[in-house]
Structure 1
Amino acid sequence: MLAKSSPRESLTAHLAATLDGALALQRRVGEIALLEPVFEGTFWPVVCLAALCHDAGKIPDGFQAMLRGTVKSWGERHEVVSLGFLPALIEDERLLMWTATGVATHHRPLYGDRGSLALAYGQAAEPEWRDRLQPVPAQVAAELTRWLQEKARRAGLPVTASSRGQDVISEAYALFGRLLDWWDAPSLHNERLAAVLLQGAVTLADHVSSAHGALHPHQPLDDVFAARLTAGFARRGHDLRPHQRDAAKVEGHLLLRAPTGSGKTEAGLLWAAAQAVQLACWTGGVPRVFYTLPYLASINAMAVRLGDLLSDDSLVGVMHSRAASFHLATAIRPEDGEDQQATAARKAVARAAATRLFAETVRVGTPYQILRGVLAGPVHSATLIDAANSVFVLDELHAYDARRLGYILAMAHLWEQLGGRIAVLSATLPDALARLFRTALDAEAHLVEAGTAAAPRRHRLIVRDRHLTDPATMEEITARLGEGESVLVVANNVADAQYLYAELSSATPTSCLLHSRFRRMDRAEVEREIGEHFGLGRPRRPGLVVATQVVEVSLNVDFDRLFTSAAPLEALLQRFGRVNRIAARPPCDVIVHPPAYAPRRTGGQDYADGVYPRLPVELGLRVLARHHGREVDETEARAWLNEVYDSEWGRAWHDEVMSHATDFADAFLAFTHPFDSREELAERFDALFDGTEAILAEDRDAYEAALHQVPGSRAAGRLLADRYLIPMPYWAAPLSRWEKRLGVRIIEADYSPRLGLGRIHGPARETYQAGEIL
């Protein structure tokens, strides 16, 4: 009997490997306290029994003929046949129903309009089941039942030694009917959540088995991490700072307020290591550590930084939609030929695939990659079980984005329910945000603040009355470049950034433009150039970087001067942190320019440069204007932010955040029908968080050639081709044409490797100007 055809794998080998995967997952996750009232210690035995039996229903002649290539498709679902083996193994009715739940739902939704098992089999009588699912070889079924019983006993699972005669289809039919009735009855929230976690555990064990993967058994942020970090500091003549030591002592949730350049990241990691050690003792598992950031560039930079801190970048997973491209960019060199590129692509695909299978115990990504677990179902429920008993470090949340912040607050409460610990790290952390997290979490969130009273002044604040693109501003920037300074210019949208770069780049031999609308390979090269020339610790060199807000978080760069458009106050403070990063020089100028206010194309309220709502930007700019010409005392930053968030706008913001948190919890976290199809929710989620991508018409032939560049690996070829992709907003899909044969969107557009994407030449009234937001 076969379980897989490519590569060929026997049924018993696959079932044994999936059981091994479930046991490995049990060792990884440990005991989940929330599930104890539901399962009374039987959650992991149920997971293991379901994993062992999940594909037993592949023995019908029709399925085997499909695997051997003698028929194209069987047309039926093996999961329902697998149910027929369970009554011979399990006598306890509740244990049987939970195991049946895990077996039946590891591929398809139980209920729903499309593709559900209830729709396919729920109305069919037993004779129809026999017509559709037979023949099932009786001798094979009997031998497989005995094998399953013996395998389960050896694993210490609670099975019976029944030797009764067995009609697999009849048993499957009866059990499936009881299962539909069981889940049609009202259930408690914890039972519904338990069902989703069970589904996630079985599907994850199956995926790990099918991919012949392995879960990392060790957490490198462990009980010796603090000693290693302290020793590394000592070798460079430094010591841990008080707020870093305080963070390491916290037991439970953390709110950390520490200025950029004060070692905030290390403080968060010291806290995470302490929590991981505690959770490992309490749960018996290996807690995962998730480090989240808002921007792609900052995620990539943090992945490299963590790899250096842990002395092994293979221990760090990268969780974002372009993770494989990140691994490729770090491995490939401009001089590499096609063979070297193909080898690098294969390795990058393998690294990204390992992260998708939750292999690493330290992962860096956006919060939204973990939020996808709420979509549940066979595709996403594994994300939820992986999040149980884990540690979450949320670095620099965008507090002013009420909707996304509300979603994260709701999700943080679920992570806490699942045994998790949450830390919020911020250079600013307004009191209003701290109060929101304390409200969202049941346990206390401990506040740790970096002492700034004796901190050297890093910045001198200048507030101008002209826009960043004003000719007088560009003359001032040119003069600074002429004096040999390194200058950072941050615009609020891509169009302004491109204009400024085009006007200013000739004033210095070294200049870079960074924003989100580059081909992947071009952006990787830009980030590399910026790191090499302006990275912290590099020799001081003159030059120019023009960027959008992608430069705000965790890029370890250091400039002499900043010119920026006004934005929400916490975003501006992040931009300030890219200048005179460790106070190695006297206070450096950070120069803030007012934005242009106007409604977007669809009308409505005014936005600053088309990006940020007007009111919070105006409020922050008024605060800064009162301090024009003064050196920035970073102890005042909290008071500045509190003034903004204690305003009438701030009170409306608070209500909006809470409303979004409630809406998200109601729509995504109730799991009212845990095994219904959630395709509609998935579409809503993608519209909220995901963009789209396209290639230039002029790159079409190169894209197609790259697809076929790696013989025997379509995924590696696709990755090499993906270097030509350009991110676009989700709403920009109508500006492209879909080429089905290549599986990619194509656009006619202005593009330069140094400037990025310009105007897209879409249909009438469907044009896009760089930086425009609808």
Structure 2
Amino acid sequence: MMMDLNTILAKSISHGGLTLLEHTQQVAETIAVFAQKYAFDFDVELARKGAILHDLGKAHPAFQKKVNGYNYASLAEKGKWDFAHRHELSSLAFLPVFPEEEWDTLIDLVVAHHKSIENDPSERGILDLDQNDREWIENHLYDWENWKDYALEILRRFDIPTREVSITEAEQALNYVVTYCEGKKNGWSPLRGLLKSADHFASAFMRKTQAQLTSLFEVPDLSYYRAPNRQHDLYPLSKICTDDRRRHTLVVAPTGAGKTDFLLKRCTGRIFYTLPFQASINAMFTRIKENVPNKDIRLLHATSKIVAKNKLDEQVLQPLSGSAIKVLTPHQLAAMVFGTSGFESVMLDVQGTDVILDEIHTYSDFSRSMVIEIVKTLLRLNCRVHIGTATMPSVLYNELLEILGGITQVYEVKLEDKVLDSFNRHQVYKIEKVEEVVDILKKAFLENEKVLLVYNTIKKAQEAYIQLQKAFPNIPKMLIHSRFRRGDRVELEKTLTEDFNTKKEACLVIATQVVEVSLDISFDRMITQCAPLDGLIQRFGRVNRIRNEQTVGKYKPVHVIQPSGNVLPYKMEVLQASFEQLPEEGDVLQERSIQEKIDAVYPELDMKEIDIHLIYKEGKYRIKELQNHKKGVLVEALEIESATCILESDRDAYLSSSWEERIPLEIPINYKSLSRHKNKYEQLEVGAYPFVVPQELEEYKEFGLQLVDHDNFL
């Protein structure tokens, strides 16, 4: 008898209303492409069988009641279904349909595609359930005779030979799965990564999956960057040959020397391009998108999210696999190092590609330790690694050179002193008191200058914006920092680069570190709080940035405020050492002297111990196959706690939108900043689990997110 499969859903109506048959078709199509394209020797047909099997357990009535929002008639009825149901485990009850020699591979594909087999935080991995719930097999086969035929019919739709499977056979299959999982050794499972990545991709695009598959895994067309007209004496790296046969690259050169072109020209395959900040990622994505004709060029940022019920659910947002170029932060690759959820998918996607680590000097403490471990992992995955920086302590440079294999494996590029001299462009002035800022601005505006004012914290930037609105009401000004909706950040960056950056009259931009890296802007003057020297040099690069025959040899002023009081997020000793290394009274900062100054500030690496969290150490894995570390490991290791907020006015739109439509509404925020407010705010249990902040929209548009309380009428 033909079963009506339109009644069996894989996704709720609010999440697209896909039937189980539709979703299975989408995952099967995806996994066939991924299994062929990954740099790994997969059995494509067996992988496809795993995709067909992976969600059959969603036909179980417990899942169907949940996905359909079933309202129980009584507490007794609800209690009958009140058990932990993992649909992927019910799926494995259909193993008897397949030849026994295929079982182990199918288990690897299916059993952990949502949960670690053991030590899952919700205690719903198969070994957790086997230890803690004596009735788990009975529950996962509950009402077997009334739902198994739907699953068998789906198998037949994919031309899988079927037969009746008795409940006894199903029980025996699940017991076999337990025994198999108990015997797992240390290592990582490419098969788990394959199914997870295919499932994530198909779930993201749903009915658009097939159309998206056609452009996956393309080698990017970089002919724009290799064209002869991209060479110019003003950009010295453009004149240096990139055809050196050594696999890896280390290039140190000032902002404006042509690092981006050089690094891209060193690539021969698919590319992961990492940068430290959202603003720099957005700018780089736009530049590459304009010049590379491949369809599948992706942008990814936001490192972690907070889950409902006050638990840190550190999941590096899993990048969908197969892009020609992906622009992201290293934190999106950190799953490979710490073994957090989805790390196998990331490893498969990255394996054998070109990875660019740009502006690597900006990472400090835990993040620097993480980046070094990422480099080691990339080498194990046969990647070509290309590192670019404007400034880097010699101790860090030498360590990276050694990790990459030394001079026989690394193409080193540095500019000669006489070339560096042509990049001298800043006169440095030290400010002892913050009160001097207003007088400097008055003079600058009289001279019709564009001024960039940079603070180290969002709060200080917001306070300065309020103060300077009153002091200079007729001067065009804007405020930009990280605490705006992602969609608004893109528009703000566009306003900054296309409007304020091109103004011919006096204007003021007040910003935080978001302007440090890769934003293509050039102002006449900067006033900045003191930051670590490498970060300051990056900030300076937003002044007098335009490089042409008329600007070379010309200087513009930067003013640095002496560090005092609370200097978070930085360390006072680093700021004091940095401040001491700066010229003063308008002396020119010499590019040829920067390496010596950087080494004076950082005589040794300030590395943080993250070994306890690493999944690979001393030549072997320290994690079992089909397992991942508990969520929260990355946050703990790197001391990064990132949450997401939305405005109350966006709440309904967020709930009803797709994942793509939700992203522009999200506002990233450091969890420590949110922690004392979080119990006051509703937290949604969809998307990035955002906290809902009741800030007035008009106030938000002017200042960005502010953590305000609900009105209290009592």
User: Which TM-score applies when normalising by structure 2?
Assistant: 0.79
1:633 matches 2:590? yes
The correspondence of residues 58-457 of structure 1 with structure 2, limited to 5 A, is 58=58, 76-92=85-101, 95-112=102-119, 114-121=123-130, 124=134, 128=138, 132=142, 134-135=144-145, 150=159, 167=165, 169-185=167-183, 187-189=185-187, 192-194=188-190, 196-198=192-194, 200-201=196-197, 203-204=199-200, 207=203, 210=206, 212-213=208-209, 214-215=212-213, 217=215, 222=220, 225-226=222-223, 229-230=226-227, 233=230, 241-242=236-237, 245-247=240-242, 249=244, 251-272=246-267, 274=268, 276=269, 287=270, 289-310=271-292, 315-321=296-302, 357-358=320-321, 360-372=323-335, 381-399=344-362, 401-441=364-404, 444-451=409-416, 453-455=418-420, 456-457=422-423
Q: Which secondary structure state, in structure 1, belongs to the residue aligned with residue 174 of structure 2?
A: helix
Once residues 635 and 564 of structure 1 are traced to their aligned partners in structure 2, the CA distance between those partners, rounded to angstroms, is: 23
Q: What amino acid sits opposite 2:383 in the alignment?
A: G
C-alpha distance 464-80 of structure 1, shift in aligned 2 (>3 A):
closer
Query: Which of these residues, 674, 682, 686, is aligned with residue 739 of structure 1?
Result: 682
Segments of structure 2 that go 5 or more residues without pairing to the other structure are: 73-77, 305-316
Provide the rounded CA distance (Å) in 1 between the counterparts of 2:137 and 2:302: 47
Give 1:541 shift.
4.3
Q: Which of 27, 31, 35 is the matching residue for 1:26?
A: 35
- 8 A contact 2:487–2:663 mirrored in 1: no
Structure 1, residues 743-766: CA drift from partner, whole Å, max 9, x if none? Answer: 633367995644445686799xxx
Counterpart residue number, 2:48: 48
The one-letter code matched in structure 2 to 1:453 is K
Aligned partners of 1:487 and 1:562 also within 8 Å: yes
Deviation string 1:239-297 (CA, Å, 9 cap, x unpaired) is 9744664345454222111210111111122123x2x1xxxxxxxxxx3x222222222
Residue of 568, 573, 581 corresponding to 1:615: 573
Query: Which consecutive residues of structure 1, in runs of 5 or more, have no partner in the other structure?
Result: 32-40, 152-160, 277-286, 324-353, 601-608, 764-774
Q: Partner amino acid for 1:730?
A: K
Corresponding residue SS for 2:334: helix
Secondary structure at the counterpart of residue 256 of structure 2: coil
Quote the offset at 1:228 in angstroms: 5.7
Contact 1:319–1:365 (8 Å) recurs in 2: yes
SS of the residue corresponding to residue 327 of structure 2 reads: strand
**C-alpha spacing 1:548/1:179, structure 2 compared with 1 (3 Å):** same
Counterpart of 2:75 in structure 1 is none
- Paired with 1:368 and 1:517, the residues of 2 have a C-alpha distance of 19
One-letter code of the match for 2:110? Answer: V
Q: What is the distance in 1 between the residues matched to 2:569 and 2:168? A: 61
AA in 1 matched with 2:693 = I
Q: Deviations over 1:107-139 (max 9, x none)?
A: 333223522223445664899469625216787
Q: Give percent identity, aligned residues only.
A: 21
Pick one of 639, 643, 668 that aligns with 1:692. 643
* Aligned match of 2:313: none
Match of 1:510 in 2: 476
Distance in 1 separating the partners of 2:515 and 2:53: 50
**CA shift at 1:674, angstroms?**
3.9
| Distance in 2 between residues matched to 1:432 and 1:551, nearest whole Å | 27
2:705 and 2:201 map into 1 onto residues whose CA distance is 42
Residue 428 of structure 1 contacts residue 637 of structure 1 at CA under 8 Å; is this kept in 2? yes
Cα gap change, 1:67 to 1:572, in 2 (>3 Å)? closer
Query: SS of the counterpart of 2:543?
Result: coil
- Secondary structure, counterpart of 2:287 in structure 1: helix
Q: CA deviation at 1:225?
A: 1.7
AA partner of residue 587 (structure 1):
K
Q: For 1:571, give the aligned amino acid.
A: G
Q: What residue is the counterpart of 1:4 in the other structure?
A: 9
Report what 2:309 is aligned to: none
Structure 1 distance, partners of 2:22, 2:343, is 26
Worse overlay, 474-483 or 224-233: 224-233
* Contact 1:693-1:727 at 8 Å conserved across structures: yes
Q: Aligned partners of 1:126 and 1:172: how far apart in 2?
A: 13
RMSD: 4.2
State the Cα distance separating 1:500 from its structure 2 match: 4.2
Classify 1:183/1:244 alpha carbon distance in 2 versus 1 (closer, same or farther; 3 Å): farther
Aligned to 2:298, what secondary structure does the other structure show? strand
Aligned to 2:452: 488
Which residue of 2 is the match for residue 703 of structure 1?
A: 650
* Number of equivalent positions: 661
Q: 1:593 to 1:119 in 2, by over 3 A?
A: closer
The Cα of 1:613 is off from its aligned counterpart by 0.9
CA 1:664–1:84 in 2, change beyond 3 Å: closer, same or farther?
A: closer
Contact 1:358/1:386, CA 8 A, preserved across alignment: yes
> Does the C-alpha gap of structure 1 residues 522 and 147 become closer, same or farther in structure 2, counting only changes over 3 Å?
closer
Letter in 2 for 1:623: Q
After the TM superposition, which residues 586-735 of structure 1 pair with which residues of structure 2 at under 5 Å, given as runs?
A: 586-598=553-565, 609-625=567-583, 629-646=586-603, 650=604, 653=606, 656-657=607-608, 659-660=609-610, 663-665=613-615, 670=621, 672-676=623-627, 678-681=629-632, 684=635, 688-694=639-645, 700=648, 702-704=649-651, 706=653, 713=657, 722=665, 725=667, 727-735=669-677
Q: What is the DSSP-based 3-state SS (H/G/I as helix, E as strand, rest coil) of the residue aligned with 2:418?
A: coil
Contact 2:681 2:691 in 1 (8 A): yes
Are residues 452 and 48 of structure 1, via their aligned partners in 2, closer, same or farther at CA, if it must alter by over 3 Å? farther
8 A Cα contact 2:562 2:579, kept in partner: no
Answer 1 or 2: which has greater helix percent: 1
For the 8 Å contact 2:366–2:638, the answer to whether it is kept is no
In structure 2, the partner of 1:348 is none
Question: Once the 2 structures are TM-superposed, how far is the Cα of residue 401 of structure 1 from its aligned partner?
Answer: 1.5
Contact 1:302 1:554 in 2 (8 A): yes
- Partner residue in 2 for 1:497: 461
Structure 1 residues 183 and 590, CA gap change in structure 2 (3 angstroms): farther
Whole-angstrom distance in 2 between the partners of 1:519 and 1:197: 32
